[in-house]
Structure 1
Amino acid sequence: MARRRSGKASIPWVVRLAAALVVLSALILLAAPVGYRLGILPLRTALLTVLRWGAYGAAAAAAVSVLGLGFQLAQPRNARRGVWLSVVSLLLAGVMFSIPAGYRVGPRKPPIHDITTDIENPPPFVAVVPLNTPGRTDYEGEVIAAQQREAYPDLRPAVLDVPPAEAFDRALAAVYQMRWQLVEADEPGGRIEATDTTFWFGFKDDVVIRVRPDGGGSRIDVRSLSRVGGGDAGTNAARIREYVDTLTAE
């Protein structure tokens, strides 16, 4: 009597390879921020080398996932095994590939790290100056202003129809709402300084907020500066937009 085969057919090797590449790529991508935070990897190596190889791995995982999915769809319906794994691998590979892409600089993300709503008279840093390398908080003027105009023409100060004292309180409340670390709040001088820490690499970025009278209301300017790196990949501009939206939504 012939022996009866038991159990389901195994998942094709190409599908398992795609899943393995997804796991490997995830480990490589995690190694970049973890290695940098632990002081094992220099910033340049973490961003330009490790993340790049993570992206290569994610691209390979996506390609193999597509091959595996195509291979399975070509089989009879009752012989398909692991279609769900191919789909999940493809989706995860796409997400992981987008992570390194977010750190690239280009025409829309110029290599600048100091962004402000007032490029003619940017709010000066005071309290966070000792926390930065010498000269880091000095605004470079037209060198970066021209690049900001082209890349982020939408950045504008917030104008509130309230007196400066009330505007200052609202500006400070928005800082807490953003969950930044408050460094100094100088109400007589109309200045607030805070620090934001990025999620992946733990970069420390400093923010200064200036509140001034504007007609019958108040004008609030914001400046966001990265402590490290030559380009911020749009992080500071996005931070300012989010803060202004938070402030004006009240």
Structure 2
Amino acid sequence: MKILVSLVSLIAFLLVLLPGPLYKFDVVELGTAFAGFKFGVYAGGAALLLLLVQVIFMRKTVTLGSAATAVIFSAIAIAMPLNMMNTAKSVPPIHDISTDLVNPPEFIAIAPLRADASNPVEYAGEETAVQQRKAYPELATLNFAQSKTDLVKATEQAVQNLGWELVNTDISKGIVEATETTAWFGFKDDVVVRINDEGSERFVDIRSKSRVGRSDLGKNAERIHTLIDELNAVLTK
């Protein structure tokens, strides 16, 4: 029983740990990867149940180390997918976020890179905008006094500081485009920053969009906030 509990808990752990890297390196499809989470929860629950049976009926075979390991592996296998599900329920099922919902910044150099993406490069539309306004009302066009050139350079520096891939910089158009690749699943999410020069003020808009998936689990809004914070940090240096 001790070996069985350890084996099932390890399998549960691997079922939630490996889907990301396996998808990232094109070993499995996204649907298969997410299925691993479901089976990981089941296996984690089974491991805890088996451990309970062992404790009740075979107490002499239980050791602190093996029991603790089984509990930790099983808890991770159960908690990670459930946490993702709770996050998904707390945010709208959208994947295209912009500070300007009337005229969102357009992807230029990134557009051909998204040719095979399941989410098209075009803005998701008014339905998405309505959901964003409710979920992220704080996201709005930014206002700066610095020149367009300085803001483009600062944005470029902020992107580099964050470790994102800088795809395109166009000072004349006030455009900076970048891609962030997530560590676990290797998802590629794209960002475009647009800087408009209007007299003594510069207006900055940021758009972040996932290439795959219906819901981004709030990641694109989080990414915009992160970029804003980093841009402000660069400008104050």
**1:90 CA displacement:** 3.0
CA 1:59–1:246: 2 relative to 1, 3 Å: farther
Unaligned runs of 5+ in 1: 1-12
2:102 aligns to what? Answer: 120
Unaligned runs of 5+ in 2: none
CA 1:56–1:157: 2 relative to 1, 3 Å: farther
**1:175 CA displacement:** 0.4
Among candidates 12, 15, 25, match of residue 28 of structure 1: 15
Letter of the structure 2 residue corresponding to residue 233 of structure 1: L
SS in 1 for 2:213: coil
Specify the structure having the higher radius of gyration (Cα).
1
Among candidates 154, 157, 166, match of residue 173 of structure 1: 157
Coordinate RMSD, CA, aligned: 3.0
1:221 aligns to what? Answer: 205
Among candidates 34, 43, 62, match of residue 57 of structure 1: 43
| Partner Cα separation in structure 1 for residue 231 and residue 194 of structure 2 | 13
1:98 aligns with 2:93: no
Letter of the structure 2 residue corresponding to residue 82 of structure 1: T
Which moved further from structure 2: 176-185 or 92-101? 92-101
Alignment of 1:72-87 (within 5 A): 82-87=63-68
**1:106 CA displacement:** 4.1
Normalised by the size of structure 2, how large is the TM-score? 0.81
SS in 2 for 1:139: coil
Q: Share of identical aligned residues, percent?
A: 34
**1:81 CA displacement:** 6.3
Alignment of 1:206-217 (within 5 A): 206-213=190-197, 216-217=200-201
More helix by share: 2
| Partner Cα separation in structure 2 for residue 139 and residue 126 of structure 1 | 13
Normalised by the size of structure 1, how large is the TM-score? 0.77
| Partner Cα separation in structure 2 for residue 96 and residue 217 of structure 1 | 51
> How many residues are treated as equivalent by the alignment?
230
